[in-house]
Chain A
Amino acid sequence: LPAGGASLRLCSTRVALEDINKPVIDRIIRVDHAGEYGANRIYAGQMAVLGRSSVGPIIQQMWNQEKDHLKKFNELMVAYRVRPTVLLPFWNVAGFVLGAGSALLGKKGAMACTVAVEESISDHYNNQIRTLMEEDPEKYKELLQVIKQFRDDEREHHDIGLEHDAEAAPAYSILKTAIQLGCKAAIFLSERI
């Protein structure tokens, strides 16, 4: 609609939840939900290959935490009436393939994948925390608490990955860069679509 003309901009009928910045919160919850969903599938893929190996219990433990994260974001998504990303079926397959593929490179390969993904995710959560703090820390207190807690969990996963010789994985730096590039693309798309 032309900015200069006296044209009427029609309103949507959505009821505003209190007076939050809906577009910003929409994006945050949508992309975080997609991220946790993807992380779930990555760990599922890793377990499918390495479930019976020595790192099986550790991966299972990290997977359980991701399941809790996903549950929380499912609740937030319903509470804030946010649309999930259209690409969920795609992340379903891509996450599993990434997890299984990295696990086929061995235990260190799986750990390298974990390190790469968790680093991307914690950077991404930090960005969101910054955004929300700039908006209004009081209004978004609950959401900030959730994201901070999850960021700490992901950081812990990242450290566990390093402890288990992620850096000794074959072609570690290439693997890490490639996975992180994929994560950036996934984040970009899930925010918008």
Chain B
Amino acid sequence: VRCQHYPPLRALQASAVLRRVSDEHKKEPLTSSSQQHFDSHPAGHQPEQEPQGPHPSYTGQGGQESEDYESEEQLQHRILTAALEFVPEHGWTAEAIAEGAKTLGLSVAAAGMFHSDGSELVLHFVSECNTKLSELLEKEQKLVQLGEAEKKPIDEFLRDAVEARLRMLIPYIEKWPQALSVLLLPRNIPSSLNLLTSMIDDICHYAGDQSTDFNWYTRRAVLTGIYNTTELVMMQDSSPDFEDTWRFLENRVADAMNMSNTASQVQSTGEAVVQGLMGAAVTVSNAETSRAVR
């Protein structure tokens, strides 16, 4: 997993600032949450931890780290995850992030760490969904390898994988159009394109694609088209449990299978025609030569 890691000092400063600010605004919740934190440790550690109490952790880079140490990235991750439950109400916005920060006992100013248009929240959600999909596909593959499950035919596999991934949007489906518009912001396009292509590559890989020629691109392009169109259909679907969407998906996957069958048929027909013509040319030239000899 390619993640960028920030220097610990800046991370500590950031989390220290947040804790100090939240200290000023909400002393009690923080104390109680720290108590809970310490309570979960084995009794032997208690005497050492208590003197430190709910003070911000100003530890040097090489010094001892307190139990509360986490990188800035981990903190942002936690805030965004907590913010997701407020998305159906507030949308993909800084308000949702602020609410999420509040549930973690942090100040609403924590939302200032992020852009005001909710970009990071959407990208975080998509990244999490993709990770969940990867894990699901990996588990399924292990079951097939152990012989505990049947290997699915390709069209069924693709259908199930895309459906599983799209179902993750259901809790947020009302606000998903907004998320899509955020993903299409020029600033976010590199990240969102990266997430989309790696998700499609994952599905193709687990579907058993082993192409090493231009088919690698053709197959992924076709699957991307199927995924994107199905996603758009899903947003306008009001049928029970989105059954219209899954039917649309089934038809598109069937189309793709037909297309690839037709393409290979055209190719073999073309090759046969060429061979036939070559044979005819050779026969004619032989006939000419033998006539000339006579």
Contacts and interface: CB of A to CB of B under 8 A. Distances in A.
B partners with A: yes
Nearest to A74: B212
B124 A10 contact: yes
Given A8-B120, A89-B214, A13 B72 contact: no
Interface in B181-235: 191, 194-195, 198-199, 201-202, 205, 210, 212-214, 216-217
A45 interface: no
A13 B213 contact: no
A90 B3 CA distance: 35
A81 interface: yes
Contacts of B2: 11-12, 14, 22
Nearest to B210: A78
B107 interface: no
Interface string B118-142: 0010011011001101100010000
Contacts of B25: none
Contacts of A6: 10, 14, 72, 76, 113
A77 B212 contact: yes
B115 interface: yes
Contacts of A10: 120, 123-124, 126-127, 191, 194-195
Interface string A4-44: 00111111111110000010000000000100000000000
A13 B199 contact: yes
Contact of A16 (B1, B131, B138): B1
B167 to A, nearest CB: 17
Contact of B202 (A14, A78, A86): A14
Interface centre among A11, A15, A73, A86, by most chain B C-beta atoms within 10 angstroms, is A11
Nearest to A81: B205
Contacts of B195: 10, 12-13
Given A7-B115, A8-B124, A78-B212, A86 B1 contact: no
A15 B134 contact: yes
Contacts of B77: 8
Contacts of B133: 13
Given A33-B212, A78-B212, A12 B124 contact: no
A12 B37 CA distance: 32
A14 B113 contact: no
Given A84-B216, A88-B213, A89-B214, A13 B131 contact: yes
Given A6-B14, A6-B72, A12 B214 contact: no
Interface in B1-41: 1-4, 10, 14
Contacts of A84: 212-214, 216
B28 to A, nearest CB: 28
Contact of B1 (A8, A11, A33, A81): A11
A63 to B, nearest CB: 18
A136 B203 CA distance: 31
A14 B201 contact: yes
A12 B128 CA distance: 10
A73 B72 CA distance: 41
A192 interface: no
7 contacts: A6-B76, A8-B124, A13-B198, A13-B202, A15-B134, A78-B210, A84-B213
Q: Which 4 A-B pairs have the closest CB atoms?
A: A13-B130, A9-B4, A12-B198, A10-B123
Given A10-B127, A12-B195, A88-B213, 7 more contacts: A8-B124, A9-B3, A9-B4, A9-B73, A11-B1, A15-B134, A78-B210
Interface of B: 1-4, 10, 14, 72-73, 76-77, 80, 113-115, 120, 123-124, 126-127, 130-131, 133-134, 138, 191, 194-195, 198-199, 201-202, 205, 210, 212-214, 216-217
Interface of A: 6-16, 22, 33, 73-74, 77-78, 81, 83-84, 86, 88-89
